[in-house]
Structure 1
Amino acid sequence: MKKLIITFCATASLLLIGANDTHAQSATHTVVSGDTFYKLGQQYGVPAAAIQRANNQSSSNIMVGEKLTIPATVSSADKDLLARLVLAEAEGEPYAGKVAVATVVLNRVDHSDFPNSVRGVVEEVSNGYYAFSPVLDGRINRAADSESIRAVNDAITFRGQGAGSLFFYNPVTATNHWNATRTETIRIGNHVFAK
């Protein structure tokens, strides 16, 4: 019976710890000298514009000592998954291309035609095809590097800005050319981004 109770408590603890990591909470931040909405966005992994909106701020001016509400953010588990996808999809690409790959996933999360979570978008299967080939071939299981992690944080900070790309592909290696029928938004490195 003692083993059963210990096992139950350990399992419950792990589930609670995992739950806290999966669903990020909003927070309060007291402004210190040098803080900007951009820096706070980087620090908390929240779009700078979302912090402004959450605090009814129309300008970029904030005062030392001011208390700001920091809206809920992407969980650390989702950031890790997204960074691993960025590494797998954009390894060897310019930094801007890594940010753009992460932005495509975030744009899909925000778009009504796609799942409404990072994990849902990354692991989506439609008509028997994986949305991202690294999920199928296992490359997504490699640990993310520091540049991919930084790219994810930048994409989150600038979330909602940009050209609204929902797709990307490499025209040289693509086997399905459906993406080429979409409206091109930008080319970065070997990738074409489209919506």
Structure 2
Amino acid sequence: MKKVKNLLIAASVSFGLLVMPTGADAASYTVKSGETFWSIAQKHGTSVANLQIANNRSGIFLYAGETIKVPDAISTEDKKLMAKLVHAEAKGEPYAGKVAVATVILNRVDHSEFPDTIKEVIYERSGGYYAFSPVQNGTINEGYTSEDMKAVNEAIAFRGQGNGSIYFYNPETSSSEWILSREVTVTIGNHKFAK
């Protein structure tokens, strides 16, 4: 289903057509004075790009009182789960590193080789091991801070606008030769992010 949806979006963009999400996929929202695509994206757990696509807009201007469509909302439960993983994986890392960890989760959801939901990505298993060590060792259950949630919201708001990282690792502690072979897209703090 995800591949079909992505093909429809790609075809719509290529041919200048607008495919407006309907039903549960989009909600109407009336813009308030001072709001921007960024603030609305953060409030509703979607990305700036998704808002612009859903509303056939490329600019940054919104007008108080206009009604727009808000697609692809991420549940509060999923955002909390992401924040817990961000806290466990990036505690002590710079804020940008926390945003990048959250972005990896979203990139995996959007990537054809990974599960289609946030929960499935975070709890994915292979060969008896979880994809993320905090799930394996239980530190994902230690909670999260407001900064962790802010990082999650920022990653959601800019979903799809990053450099495509689907992995991250600490080169000082990683023992996997395979992960070291991946193309590094950026280094933030103690983590390398890769494709």
TM-score range, shorter chain: 0.7 to 0.9
Structure 1: state its 5+ residue gaps. Answer: 1-23
Q: Distance in 2 between matches of 1:80 and 1:103?
A: 14
- Residue 174 of structure 1 deviates from its aligned partner by 1.1
Q: How do residues 132-147 of structure 1 correspond to structure 2 at under 5 angstroms?
A: 132-147=132-147
2:79 is equivalent to residue 52 of structure 1:
no
Aligned length: 172
- Tell me the equivalent position of 2:118: 118
Q: Could you list the runs of 4 or more consecutive aligned residues of structure 1 that deviate by over 4 angstroms after TM superposition?
A: none
Q: Secondary structure at the match of 2:193?
A: strand
Which residue identity does 1:50 align to in structure 2? N
Q: Normalising to structure 1: TM-score of the pair?
A: 0.85
Task: Tell me, yes or no, if the aligned pair for 1:81 and 1:119 is still in contact at 8 Å.
Answer: yes
Larger Cα-atom Rg: 1
2:128 is equivalent to residue 128 of structure 1:
yes
Task: Tell me, yes or no, if the aligned pair for 1:28 and 1:69 is still in contact at 8 Å.
Answer: yes
- Tell me the equivalent position of 1:96: 96
Q: Secondary structure at the match of 1:136?
A: helix
Structure 2: state its 5+ residue gaps. Answer: 1-23
- Residue 42 of structure 1 deviates from its aligned partner by 1.2
Task: Tell me, yes or no, if the aligned pair for 1:27 and 1:72 is still in contact at 8 Å.
Answer: no
Which residue identity does 2:191 align to in structure 1? H
Q: Distance in 1 between matches of 2:84 and 2:65?
A: 37
Q: Distance in 2 between matches of 1:188 and 1:179?
A: 16
Which residue identity does 2:183 align to in structure 1? T
Percent sequence identity over aligned pairs: 55
Which residue identity does 2:174 align to in structure 1? A
Q: How do residues 58-73 of structure 1 correspond to structure 2 at under 5 angstroms?
A: 58-73=58-73
Which residue identity does 2:125 align to in structure 1? V
For residues 146-180 of structure 1, what are the alpha-carbon distances to aligned partners after superposition, in whole Å with 9 as ceiling and x for unaligned?
11111000000000011100000001111223211
- Tell me the equivalent position of 2:85: 85
Q: CA RMSD in A?
A: 1.2
Task: Tell me, yes or no, if the aligned pair for 1:184 and 1:193 is still in contact at 8 Å.
Answer: yes
